[in-house]
């Protein structure tokens, strides 16, 4: 009995050893041909839809945890209230995961009241880089004394009664004026060259394939955006009148219209299948860059040319008597004062700010950058009738269908 049990035990161990040997050999063979057997994330195929690139992506994702990335002289910038902490943390987590965990750029937070300790502790813990907090001076935030309070309150009631978006909000007007002409004057930003504006409750759908700050510097860009759309005309009924006065007064000191992106602001012709979805009451077609995502050169905004542009508009009182937004003001300013090739559309960056988003059109790029979006999602605005992106392609810096070489940037 003992002999039989011992023989069976010997045979069991023998077969287990054989199984283990074959398993190891099979595993080695399987791994040897993994690249040809599995569906590669980076196939040698033509980039799909909205791309004419016939060469492979030629890119292999690597573990960046031990890599050292040079940083530009830049900061991530958020204007935020203490009460918006949860939305701020959501945005921070998204951008850290998709971009900043490799670079550790500083986070700069601005508020018109002091930040509380809970906000400072939570955001400091979420950031991979240094965090810093600044209180906006009252003279940069509050309604200026020269605004007629009686007229202001009357216009506030009228716009609220008419259902204009944020038409009855005083703080929103302060915010728009601040973002248009004062954010870049904050002393906490004095030592930086670039900023990346981030708002609470936004999402970044894809891994960033490059450092956008580095792209800005190496390619001589002054302003970057991801979404362009039409403004609500009822918020800016006289804005273009003020712009036209500025153009006449500054004709000798700014770019000629044909050298700037003026046509982007005024072209109301057919683009593809679409005319503008709204018929404007002025030469301004209402197109603007959605400024909740913008990456900019602070030295451009600090320039005498931009400050003169802002101060000319500000003197009209439209930030308060109407509800001028910083998005059309920034967009008109950069379009008039910069060459089209100094403005960049970051078409490989996926992004969402309710209710609109943008997502790379190429299926291969979405795999490459681990995107969590689809280019045909209802929220994706890129080539819909209410987007101005195609109008930018036509009148701005064009549309490029070749993916940037990774080692160039």
Of residues 62 and 224, more confidence is placed in 224
The per-residue DSSP string of 284-349 comes to ---EEE-TTSEEEEHHHHTSHHHHHHHHHHHTTTHHHHS---HHHHHHHHHHHHS-GGGEEE-TT-
Instruction: Count H helices and E strands in the chain, helices first.
Output: 17, 12
pLDDT at 280: 87
Assess whether pLDDT exceeds 80 at residue 325: yes
* Within-domain flag for 63: no
* Within-domain flag for 215: yes
* Within-domain flag for 1: no
* Within-domain flag for 114: no
Across the range 285-298, mean pLDDT stands at 97
For residue range 104-114, list pLDDT tens digits in order.
Answer: 999 999 999 99
Of residues 409 and 301, more confidence is placed in 301
For residue range 326-352, list pLDDT tens digits in order.
Answer: 999 999 999 999 999 999 999 999 999
Q: Mean pLDDT score of the chain, rounded to an integer?
A: 87
> Which domain does 288 fall in, by range?
137-181+202-408
Of residues 36 and 324, more confidence is placed in 324
* Within-domain flag for 272: yes
- The one catalytic residue in 84, 294, 322, 342 is 294
H helix intervals, 33-110: 34-37, 85-95, 101-103
What does pTM read for this prediction?
A: 0.83
pLDDT at 31: 43
pLDDT at 270: 87
* Within-domain flag for 216: yes
For residue range 350-406, list pLDDT tens digits in order.
Answer: 999 999 999 999 999 999 999 999 999 999 999 999 999 999 999 988 776 555 555
pLDDT at 399: 77
H helix intervals, 363-408: 363-368, 389-395
Confidence of residue 14 (pLDDT cuts 50, 70, 90): low
Among 66-70, 253-257, 361-365, whose mean pLDDT is lowest? Answer: 66-70
The whole-angstrom separation of Cα 115 and Cα 101 is 24
Across the range 173-187, mean pLDDT stands at 98
CB 96, CB 203: distance < 8 Å:
no
Q: What is the CATH number of the domain that holds 393?
A: 3.90.550.10
The whole-angstrom separation of Cα 115 and Cα 83 is 10
Assess whether pLDDT exceeds 70 at residue 49: no
pLDDT at 321: 98
Assess whether pLDDT exceeds 50 at residue 92: yes
* Within-domain flag for 129: no
294 is a catalytic site residue: yes
Across the range 203-224, mean pLDDT stands at 97
| Structural domains of the chain, count | 1
* Within-domain flag for 99: no
């Amino acid at each position: 009995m003992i002999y039989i049990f011992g023989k069976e035990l010997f045979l069991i161990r023998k077969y287990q050893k054989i199984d283990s040997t074959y398993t190891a050999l099979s595993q080695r063979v399987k791994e040897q041909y993994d690249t040809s057997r599995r569906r590669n994330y980076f196939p040698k195929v033509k980039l799909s839809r909205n791309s004419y690139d016939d060469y492979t992506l030629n890119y292999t994702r690597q573990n960046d945890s031990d890599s050292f990335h040079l940083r530009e002289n830049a900061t991530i910038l958020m204007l935020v209230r203490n009460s918006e902490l949860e939305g701020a943390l959501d945005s921070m987590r998204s951008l850290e995961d998709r971009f900043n965990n490799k670079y550790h750029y500083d986070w700069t937070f601005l508020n018109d009241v002091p930040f509380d300790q809970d906000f400072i502790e939570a955001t400091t813990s979420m950031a991979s880089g240094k965090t810093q907090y600044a209180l906006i001076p009252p003279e940069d935030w509050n309604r200026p004394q020269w605004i007629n309070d009686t007229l202001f309150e009357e216009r506030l009631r009228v716009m609220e009664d008419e259902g204009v978006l944020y038409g009855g909000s005083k703080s929103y007007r302060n915010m728009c004026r601040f973002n248009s002409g004062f954010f870049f004057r904050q002393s906490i930003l004095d030592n930086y060259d670039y900023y990346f504006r981030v708002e609470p409750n936004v999402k970044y759908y894809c891994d960033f394939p490059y450092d956008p700050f580095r792209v800005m510097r190496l390619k001589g860009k002054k302003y970057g955006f991801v979404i362009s759309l039409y403004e609500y005309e009822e918020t800016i009924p006289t804005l273009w009148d003020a712009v036209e006065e500025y153009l006449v007064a500054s004709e000798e000191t700014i770019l000629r219209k044909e050298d700037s992106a003026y046509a982007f602001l005024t072209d109301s012709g057919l683009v593809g299948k679409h005319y503008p979805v709204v018929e404007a009451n002025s030469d301004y077609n209402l197109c603007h860059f959605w400024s909740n995502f913008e990456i900019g050169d602070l030295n451009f905004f600090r320039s005498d040319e931009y400050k003169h542009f802002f101060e000319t508009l500000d003197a009209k009182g439209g930030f308060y008597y109407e509800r001028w937004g910083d998005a059309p003001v920034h967009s008109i300013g950069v379009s008039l004062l910069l060459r089209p090739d100094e403005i960049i559309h970051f078409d490989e960056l996926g992004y969402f700010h309710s209710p609109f988003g943008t997502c790379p059109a190429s299926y291969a790029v979405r795999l490459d950058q681990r995107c969590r979006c689809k280019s045909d999602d209802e929220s994706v605005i890129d080539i819909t009738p209410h987007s101005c992106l195609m109008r930018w392609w036509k009148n701005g810096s064009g549309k490029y269908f070749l993916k940037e070489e990774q080692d160039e940037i």
